[in-house]
Homo-oligomer: A and B are copies of this chain.
Amino acid sequence: MDHKTRCENCIVRQFNSLRAMTKEELKRVSDSKLMKTVKKGEALFEEGEKLNGVYCVRDGVSKLSKLSANGKDQIVKLATKGEVMGQRSVIVEESANLSAVAVNDMEVCFIPKEAIINTLHSNPDFTYEVLRHMAHHLKEADDVIVNMSQKTVKQRIAEAFLYLKHNYGDDDEGYLLLTLSREDIANVVGTATESCIRIISEFKKKGLLKSSGKKLGIVNEKGLQDLADGF
Contact = CB atoms under 8 A, between A and B. Distances in A.
Interface of A: 66, 68-70, 72, 74, 76-77, 87-88, 91-92, 94, 97-98, 120-125, 127-128, 130-132, 134-139, 141-151, 189-191, 229-230
A119 B128 CA distance: 11
20 contacts: A66-B142, A66-B143, A66-B146, A68-B151, A74-B145, A74-B146, A88-B138, A92-B135, A92-B139, A94-B139, A97-B139, A97-B142, A98-B142, A120-B131, A124-B127, A127-B128, A131-B131, A145-B145, A149-B191, A150-B190
A219 to B, nearest CB: 23
Protomer copies: 2
Contacts of A70: 150, 230
Given A124-B120, A149-B148, A136 B190 contact: no
Q: What's the dominant secondary structure at chain A's contact region?
A: helix
Contacts of A94: 139
Given A69-B229, A69-B230, A150 B74 contact: yes
A54 B128 CA distance: 17
A134 B138 contact: yes
A120 B128 CA distance: 7
A131 B74 contact: no
A189 B145 CA distance: 10
Given A66-B142, A87-B135, 13 more contacts: A66-B143, A68-B147, A68-B150, A76-B145, A91-B131, A92-B136, A97-B143, A122-B124, A127-B127, A130-B131, A131-B134, A144-B145, A149-B190
